[in-house]
């Protein structure tokens, strides 16, 4: 690490906001030396609670995150928010608009909001997000919230860097709840039916509950079947609380919120805390951390190998030329992949024979 | 391993400050910047100078474009510049002002640290070109 980076790191650990902002830029830009910087950060991490929030566009994620941050601040905790927006795959440009809806905590530097966008490479954003979380953690933030649109595998990878994942479901989703089954159900630790004052909220809660019960092998014990007539914000969550004491399995609770006026936010926070307790109590926390590190190592290796192969591709004539060759019917992608990889495979083979 | 790919992008904050509610210009600029491949953070309407400073520092933007059509530039811009100074961000942020700024007020804003002022009739291309050429290299 050079002197500038040493200073930057020292300033970040001291609690200088500008330094934190700059470190995250270095991470995003993948600028020279950023790896050493993150390696240094690792020693100072592990204290923060990381919460991932995802849901379809317009579900109210930014507004809920804003209220969440406000409530944590009232309780005296510092908050970091990473808001992720898609970028145009054509120009690389992006309008990052989540900040507009985060108005409750302005003028309070202890809520550090950072907008990020995918810069081209698939999978790269989850690494950058994980690294930005490390930076905020090392800085000393108590809670770190990652907010992203739950639209695909890329986004799922991102929220998986969190300890606890909340999935927002707007009321009246109807068939959407059905589509949620694929993928989203597995990652949700807490379901939030936001805009719970809208018609159809009860029904959405009901549908979610049925889905969860089916998933957990039919939990008839709770007596939660039939329409929950008196479902008033978060009442259902409290009812299942006791049965979860000392459990080894986590059943995702459903919380009802109205993010615009803050209704249900306290219940939501309680559920997040309960999940955290469960993670620590059941030992799942350590397991989860291990899995996450394994995933980080894999992603990092994949990206590094990919970067090395880019050079190899250049030597082979560049991707455009190779693509043109396929288009002209001269060759096919598999043959090209084999050819490009051949020298790498040879190297590895040679290494193996040398050190058996 | 020297195979790190740099993925730098110009980050801009397009800011509306004060009671001025005319945001068409800011929207047009935000979209044009996006289409030019920049990452744009739009502040929304009616922001206080402190909010703009907070966003500019946290987002670590290269460029801060302030849109003012209310005539309050001579009180609002200095507040923003002071705030940036406080967090050590004034030096390497390119600050631009767009909107209706009378000729006689311009030298004062430039002394404050504003790099360029774009009045009515400025072409989008001119603004983008200026940002590309002058965005701080850091």
Q: pLDDT band at A183, cuts 50/70/90?
A: low
Q: What is the mean pLDDT of chain A?
A: 81
A22/B7 Cβ within 8 A? no
pLDDT in tens, B87-99: 999 988 999 999 9
Give me the pLDDT at residue A340, please: 84
Which residues, other chains included, contact B39 with Cβ-Cβ below 8 Å and sequence gap of 6+? A87, A93, A94, A96, A115, A117, B9, B10, B11, B12
Percent of chain A with pLDDT over 70: 81
CA dist A15 and A200 (Å) reads: 46
| Beta pairing, strands B39-42 & B11-16 | parallel
CA dist A95 and A85 (Å) reads: 8
pLDDT in tens, A78-133: 999 999 877 666 666 777 777 777 777 777 788 999 998 876 555 567 788 889 99
Give me the pLDDT at residue A237, please: 45
Residue A239 has pLDDT above 60, yes or no: no
DSSP E strands: which ranges in A223-302?
A: 254-256
H-helix or E-strand spanning residue A168: strand A164-169
What is the radius of gyration, based on Cα positions, of chain B? Answer: 15
Assess contact for A196 and A255: CB atoms under 8 A: no
Give me the pLDDT at residue A137, please: 95
CA dist A9 and A180 (Å) reads: 41
* Interface membership of B135 toward A (CB under 8 Å): no
A22/B55 Cβ within 8 A? no
How many Cβ pairs within 8 Å bridge chains A and B? 113
Give me the pLDDT at residue B6, please: 59
Chain B environment of A102 (Cβ under 8 Å): none
pLDDT in tens, A52-79: 998 877 888 889 999 999 999 999 999 9
How close is the nearest chain A Cα to the Cα of B120, in Å?
Answer: 23
Give me the pLDDT at residue B28, please: 93
Assess contact for A204 and A169: CB atoms under 8 A: yes
CA dist A145 and B18 (Å) reads: 29
Q: pTM for this one?
A: 0.83
Residue A219 has pLDDT above 60, yes or no: no
Any idea how long chain B is?
138
Higher-confidence residue of A245 and A109: namely: A109
Structure tokens at A298: 């894999």
Query: Alpha carbon B52 to chain centroid distance?
Result: 10
Give me the pLDDT at residue A150, please: 64
When mean pLDDT is compared across A44-53, A241-250, A317-326, the lowest value belongs to A241-250
Among candidate residues A142, A144, A122, A120, the one with its CA nearest the CA of residue A24: A144
When mean pLDDT is compared across A89-98, A174-183, A224-233, A309-318, the lowest value belongs to A224-233
Among candidate residues A125, A108, A124, the one with its CA nearest the CA of residue A116: A125
Q: pLDDT band at A216, cuts 50/70/90?
A: low
A221 burial class (0-12, 13-18, 19+ CB within 10 angstroms)? exposed
**Nearest by CB: A99 against B1, B39, B43:** B43
Structure tokens at A162: 């969190």
Q: What is the mean pLDDT of chain B?
A: 90
Chain A environment of B36 (Cβ under 8 Å): 91, 93
Q: pLDDT band at B38, cuts 50/70/90?
A: very high
pLDDT in tens, B60-91: 999 999 999 998 999 999 999 999 999 999 98
Residue A293 has pLDDT above 70, yes or no: yes
Give me the pLDDT at residue A153, please: 64
The CATH class that applies to domain A45-282 reads alpha beta
Among candidate residues A182, A196, A187, A186, the one with its CA nearest the CA of residue A60: A196
* In CATH, B9-60+114-138 is 3.40.50.280: yes
CA dist B48 and B111 (Å) reads: 22
CA dist A76 and A354 (Å) reads: 59
B55/A121 Cβ within 8 A? no
Give me the pLDDT at residue A29, please: 85
Give me the pLDDT at residue A158, please: 77
Residue B4 has pLDDT above 50, yes or no: no
Q: At B23, phi and psi to the nearest 5?
A: -115, 5
Q: What 3-state DSSP class applies to B41?
A: strand
CA dist A80 and A141 (Å) reads: 6
**Nearest by CB: B59 against A108, A115, A121:** A115
Higher-confidence residue of A124 and B56: namely: B56
Runs of H (alpha helix) within chain B? 24-35, 49-59, 73-86, 106-112, 124-134
B35/A22 Cβ within 8 A? no
What's the half-sphere exposure (Cβ side, CA atoms, 13 Å) at A179? Answer: 10
Any idea how long chain A is?
356
Residue B121 has pLDDT above 50, yes or no: yes
The DSSP letter of residue A189 is: S
């Amino acid at each position: 690490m050079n002197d500038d980076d040493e200073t930057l790191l020292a300033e970040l650990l001291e609690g200088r906001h500008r330094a934190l902002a700059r470190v995250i830029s270095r991470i995003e830009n993948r600028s020279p030396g950023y790896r050493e910087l993150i390696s240094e950060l690792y020693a100072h991490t592990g204290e923060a609670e990381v919460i991932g929030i995802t849901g379809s566009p317009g579900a109210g994620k930014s507004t809920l995150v804003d209220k969440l941050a406000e409530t944590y601040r009232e309780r005296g905790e510092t908050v970091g928010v990473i808001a992720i927006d898609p970028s145009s795959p054509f120009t690389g440009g992006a309008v990052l608009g989540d900040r507009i809806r985060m108005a409750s905590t302005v003028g309070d530097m202890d809520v550090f909001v950072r907008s990020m966008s995918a810069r081209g490479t698939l999978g790269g954003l989850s690494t950058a997000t994980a690294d930005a979380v490390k930076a905020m953690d090392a800085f000393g933030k108590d809670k770190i919230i990652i907010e992203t649109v739950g639209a695909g595998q890329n986004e799922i990878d991102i929220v998986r860097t969190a300890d606890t994942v909340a999935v927002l479901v707007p009321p009246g989703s109807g068939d959407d709840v059905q589509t949620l089954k694929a993928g989203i159900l597995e990652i949700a630790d807490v379901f939030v039916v936001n805009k719970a004052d809208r018609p159809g909220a009860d029904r959405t809660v009901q549908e979610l509950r049925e889905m969860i019960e089916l998933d957990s092998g039919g939990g008839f014990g709770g007596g939660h079947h039939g329409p929950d007539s008196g479902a008033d914000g978060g009442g259902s969550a409290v009812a299942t609380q006791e049965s979860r004491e000392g459990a080894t399995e986590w059943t995702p609770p459903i919380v009802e919120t109205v993010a615009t006026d803050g209704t249900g936010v306290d219940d939501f926070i309680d559920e997040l805390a309960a999940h955290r307790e469960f993670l620590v109590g059941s030992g799942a926390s350590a397991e989860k951390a291990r899995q996450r590190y394994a995933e980080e190592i894999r992603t990092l290796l994949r990206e590094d190998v990919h970067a090395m192969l880019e050079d190899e591709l250049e030597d082979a004539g560049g991707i455009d030329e190779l693509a043109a060759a396929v288009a002209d019917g001269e060759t096919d992608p598999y043959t090209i992949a084999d050819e490009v990889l051949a020298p790498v495979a040879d190297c590895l083979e040679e290494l193996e024979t040398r050190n058996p | 391993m020297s195979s790190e790919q740099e993925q730098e992008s110009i980050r801009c904050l397009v800011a509306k400050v004060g009671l001025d509610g005319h945001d068409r210009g800011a929207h047009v600029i935000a979209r044009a910047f996006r289409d030019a491949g920049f990452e744009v953070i739009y502040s929304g309407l009616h922001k206080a100078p402190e909010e703009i400073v907070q966003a500019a520092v946290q987002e670590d933007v290269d460029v801060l474009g302030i849109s003012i059509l209310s005539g309050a530039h001579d009180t609002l811009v200095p507040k923003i510049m002071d705030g940036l100074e406080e967090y050590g961000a004034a030096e390497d942020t390119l600050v631009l002002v767009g909107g209706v700024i009378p000729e006689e007020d311009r030298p004062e804003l430039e002394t404050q640290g504003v790099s360029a002022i774009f009045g009515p009739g400025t072409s989008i291309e001119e603004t983008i070109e200026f940002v590309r050429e002058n965005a701080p290299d850091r």
